[in-house]
Amino acid sequence: MASKLVINRNYGFGHGIGRSGDLLDAQPKAVGSTIVAQLSNALVLDVIRLQGIKSVKSYFIAPMATGMTLTLCLLSLKKRRPPAKYVLWSRIDQKSCFKSITTAGLTPIIIDTVKREEQDGLFTDLGKFEENLSCIDREEILCIMSTTSCFGPRNCDGIISLAGLAAKFDVPHVVNNAYGLQSTYLTHQLKQANSAGRVDLFVQSTDKNFMVPVGGAIVAGFEESSVHTVAKAYAGRASSSQSLDVLITLLCLGKIGYQDLVSQRKLNFVYLQKQLEEFAEKHHCRVIRAKANPISLALELKTLSTDVATKLGSMLFTRGVSGTRVIIKGCNKTIDGFEFADWGSHESSLDCAYLTAAVSIGLKRPEIDAFIHKLQQCWQDLEKKINKDT
């Protein structure tokens, strides 16, 4: 390495991990990087088991963010099922999830989420999944792709039922568990799904669960062969930066430190829900509480016009609130030739605008208070402007 700054930034680890053709192989020319990778993988296994998925058999840190890691998983499945071209995908309006399918050269069969009577939130359309599994030639279906963590008011997919369908129709099942490792509710869903049926691979983000820079993901599974196939699908060696970041962070936090953050996140979610409900009561709106979503909440904006709701989102952003999204009706989007009605809402029949707010690991209570304060200020400013204009 030519630059001392680069050497210091990487602690002298410049050779990467894995050998050409397998990310899990030891690299004889880079003993240090190999040990870092093995240690970080061992600590990640400890976290996965600590969070309740004790039956996990194989795992590794991939040197790519969640979207591209999902693509690698799909390509590894394609090697085992050459005629397959379709991915049955439960709609989640997050670009990288969808593009992980199209980037792999596969065709997504988009299955919209559905509402249920007297229940808040959006749910997996299990009937549509079974219908497609029954109608399409099984050899042409690469896998079912489901999602656990997501923006409200979408619930975690019914991964236990989907795992049952995957086993019944003998089709692989890949779970996008991006934020899910930090939630014991979601890890329990994964554990139950594996017991009830079939889960081939589940993928989670390193930055979202371990508070490290973006760029890594964890591939895990309940059978060694499935995970090793993914590791062998990676072309060439890989950067050790992501493994090093995870290793340093987990050693700094320790087991108790990480558990404390997980517990605090759960308490913070309850706190945010309470604060939003108090806000909603004052302003004649409603919190949409999707019971199977332990990370994200949605605040209905029925009393605001589309323009005003959009303005609220931009006002929050300019005041340093970057984690919220305002979803409005009629915002359609085309991605890789596929059209999505009411993009952002995870459905094609959005009733009214809403604002999302999430509680991820590492969030502090004063930050929630600051968000509610800024939301209150923005709302009052908008009300004053509306009253002035009328």
What CA–CA distance (Å, rounded) separates 233 from 169? 25
Q: Which helix (H) or strand (E) holds 124?
A: none
Rounded CA gap, 322 and 91, in Å?
A: 24
Helices within the chain (DSSP H only)? 4-9, 31-50, 66-80, 95-102, 126-135, 159-169, 184-196, 206-210, 224-233, 241-282, 306-318, 365-389
Whole-number Å distance between alpha carbons of 258 and 260: 5
- Secondary structure class of 116 (helix, strand, coil): strand
In single-letter form, the type of residue at position 31 comes to V
Q: Are 198 and 167 in contact (CB under 8 A)?
A: yes
Long-range contacts of 367-371 (CB under 8 A, 24+ apart): 368/268, 368/271, 368/272, 368/275, 369/275, 371/321, 371/324
> Is 49 part of any known ligand binding site?
no
Tell me phi and psi for residue 36, to 5 degrees: -60, -45
Round to the nearest angstrom and report the end-to-end CA distance of the chain.
66
Closest by alpha carbon to 124, among 346, 380, 275, 296?
346
Query: Is 3 annotated for ligand binding?
Result: no
DSSP 157: P
Consult the annotation and say whether 38 binds a ligand: no
Pairing mode of beta strands 86-90, 107-111:
parallel
| Per-position DSSP letters for 185-226, written without gaps between them | HHHHHHHHHHHHS---EEEEEHHHHH---SS-EEEEESSHHH
Length of the chain: 390
- On whether 19 is known to bind a ligand per the annotation, the reply is yes
Which residue has tokens 């279906």? 141
Q: What's the token pair of residue 282?
A: 């004052």
Q: Is 81 annotated as a binding residue?
A: no
To the question of whether residue 55 is assigned a binding role by annotation, the answer is no
The residue type of 33 is: S
Name the binding residues for tRNA.
319, 384
Binding residues: 19-20, 27, 237, 319, 384
Annotated binding site for substrate: 19-20, 27, 237
